[in-house]
Amino acid sequence: MTVLVLTNCPIGLRGFLTRWLLEISPGVFIGNPSARIRDLLWSEVRQYSGQGRALLIHTSNNEQGFTFHTHDHSWAPTDHEGLTLIQRPSEPRPPQVKSGWSKAAQRRRWGNR
């Protein structure tokens, strides 16, 4: 089983993929091509995706039962003790507001005296 998810890719690429895979939702393709066809499709996706992103998931003979590949994706696959997991990019934390010594800050601190 093969699942291919495209984001912000040209329509022509989506049309090309419908020759071998079924588009079940916009940009989500599913099918069962051979490994050779799957690899050829992935190379075409990487070549013609333009500014878009792509994610390929397919069955594999490993502990998880599947493996995945990414192209221009901010989420990266990482190996964690033999399991491949997706690592999200860390979001920057907003700066903490320091309480000052203004009269308003003192009132908040000491409970409106």
pLDDT digits (tens, 9 = 90+) for 55-72: 999 999 988 999 989 999
Q: What is the pLDDT of residue 107?
A: 75
CA torsion sign, 8 to 27 to 20 to 39?
A: positive
Q: What is the pLDDT of residue 106?
A: 72
- Is residue 30 within 8 A of residue 10, CB to CB? The reply is no
Predicted confidence (pLDDT) at residue 87 exceeds the cutoff of 60: yes
* Section 100-113 average pLDDT: 70
- Report the chain's mean pLDDT, rounded to a whole number: 87
Q: What is the pLDDT of residue 22?
A: 97
Predicted confidence (pLDDT) at residue 11 exceeds the cutoff of 70: yes
